[in-house]
Structure 1
Amino acid sequence: MKTTILGLPAKENAQLITELNTLLSSFQVYYQNLRGIHWNIRGKRFFDLHIKFEELYNDAQLKIDSIAERVLTLGGTPLHTFEAYIAHNQVTVGKDVSKDEKAIQLIVASLTTLLKIERTILEQSGAIADEGTNAMMSDFIAEQEKTIWMMHAWLEE
Structure 2
Amino acid sequence: MKLNKLGLPEKETLALATDLNVLLANFQVYYQNLRGLHWNIRGKRFFDLHLKFEELYNDSQLKIDLIAERILTLGQTPLHTFEDYVKNSKLPIGKNIHNDEEAINLILNSLSHLLRIERVILSQASEIADEGTNSMMSDFISEQEKTIWMMSAWLEESI
Which TM-score bucket, shorter chain as reference?
over 0.9
Q: Residues of 2 paired with 1:146 and 1:78: CA distance?
A: 27
Q: Which residue of 1 aligns with 2:45?
A: 45
Secondary structure of 1:83 counterpart: helix
Determine if the alignment matches structure 1 residue 29 to structure 2 residue 29.
Answer: yes
Determine if the alignment matches structure 1 residue 56 to structure 2 residue 73.
Answer: no
Q: CA deviation at 1:84?
A: 0.4
Matches within 5 A, 1:65-84: 65-84=65-84
Stretches of structure 1 lacking an aligned partner (at least 5 in a row): none
- RMSD of equivalent CA atoms: 0.4
Q: TM-score, normalised by structure 2?
A: 0.98
Q: Is the 8 A contact 1:25 1:86 kept in 2?
A: yes
Query: CA offsets, 1:71-100, max 9 Å, x none?
Result: 000000000000000111121111111100
Stretches of structure 2 lacking an aligned partner (at least 5 in a row): none
Q: Which residue of 2 aligns with 1:113?
A: 113
Q: TM-score, normalised by structure 1?
A: 0.99
Query: CA offsets, 1:12-71, max 9 Å, x none?
Result: 000000000000000000000000000000000000000000000000000000000000
Quick one: which amino acid aligns to residue 119 of structure 1?
Answer: R
Q: Which residue of 1 aligns with 2:137?
A: 137
Q: Is the 8 A contact 1:22 1:90 kept in 2?
A: no
Q: Residues of 2 paired with 1:2 and 1:56: CA distance?
A: 40
Quick one: which amino acid aligns to residue 39 of structure 1?
Answer: W
Q: Residues of 2 paired with 1:90 and 1:13: CA distance?
A: 23
Quick one: which amino acid aligns to residue 46 of structure 1?
Answer: F
Q: Which residue of 1 aligns with 2:96?
A: 96
Q: Which residue of 1 aligns with 2:6?
A: 6
Q: CA deviation at 1:149?
A: 0.2
Aligned length: 157
Identical amino acids, percent of aligned pairs? 71
Quick one: which amino acid aligns to residue 103 of structure 1?
Answer: A
Q: Residues of 2 paired with 1:93 and 1:3: CA distance?
A: 39
